[in-house]
Amino acid sequence: MSRVAHKLFIIVLSLIVILILIALIYNGFSYYQTILEERFFHGDHKLLKPSGILGHGLGIFGSLFMIIGVFSYMARKRYRFLSRMGLLKHWLEFHIFLCTLGPILILFHTSFKFGGLVAISFWSMVAVFLSGIIGRFIYLQIPRTIEGRELSLNEVRDMKSDIGEVIKTDYDIDDESYKSIIESTKKRVGLYHKNAIVSYFKSWIENRRTLHNVKVALKKNRLSRVQYKKVIGLVKNEISLNRKIERLTTMQNLFKYWHVAHLPFALVMLVIMIIHIGVTIVFGYKWIF
């Protein structure tokens, strides 16, 4: 999938979620804002109640989307014969799409009325959804290949070029400016300490200072606009790789802890969902079938 096609893919998936959400709110706003005791008398009650034609259908499709989203992504990660069927990150994006759309449909299926055993499944679903957002953030912080495979610390270090050698060989820069650039970019790389937020902002300020120092040093030399941009690009790449190395171990550990929280909620949600579906079928709620 080309970069343009991938962007189009993401836009289409996002638009589907947004448009369906808008349509559900627009169609049922009057009913959902009616207090529970008076909904029976509302004109859309038979359509939008959890056992109604639309309400029941939302529950069915929402459950299917979540089941497909969870198990298709798990299968893609576990079974080698599926490895040739698209990049892992594209499967993850489709997993996120289905597991975002599914809970939205389930929410409207409940008509915003929760209770009993199903409430446990619903709030587990909410916990899975929210932890999924956190997991996505952590996932994006871990350096990966274009296929979506997680890079090791050594692989990230191997991506670093000898910026000093490149600048010395390819660009006509005086010794003072050269030393200034090398000293600015050779920052000690360490892991995040316990106060990660403070560390992040300190790192951000230090990186901005590094870029400023490099720009000041370069302006003392007669470099063309193209050469100037190339050197700045090299420095930015060096800073980016330093930050990736800095956060790699921390994010890998956070990802392990995240799985401990995410998976149990997902299992609870799925088990109670299956029980709920079984009970509704036993009591004769078979939708349009």
47 near 53, Cβ under 8 Å?
A: yes
Mean pLDDT, all residues of the chain = 78
pLDDT tens digits for 221-261?
777 778 778 777 777 777 777 776 666 667 767 777 777 77
pLDDT tens digits for 120-174?
887 888 888 888 887 777 777 666 554 455 555 565 555 555 666 677 677 777 7
Q: Which residues of 133-150 are buried (b: 16+ CB within 10 A; e: fewer)?
A: eebeebbeebbeeeebee
95 near 69, Cβ under 8 Å?
A: yes
Note the pTM of the prediction, 2 decimals.
0.65
pLDDT tens digits for 10-23?
999 999 999 999 99
Instruction: Kindly indicate the confidence band of residue 118, based on its pLDDT and cuts at 50, 70 and 90.
Output: confident
- pLDDT reported for residue 1: 67
Q: Which amino acid is at 216?
A: V
**Is the pLDDT reported for residue 72 higher than 60?**
yes
Backbone φ and ψ of 275, nearest 5°: -60, -45
- pLDDT reported for residue 164: 66
pLDDT tens digits for 163-209?
666 776 777 777 777 777 776 666 544 444 455 556 666 767 777 77
- pLDDT reported for residue 192: 44
- pLDDT reported for residue 47: 92
- pLDDT reported for residue 101: 93
- pLDDT reported for residue 193: 46
Find the length of the chain: 289
Mean pLDDT across the stretch 86-111? Answer: 88
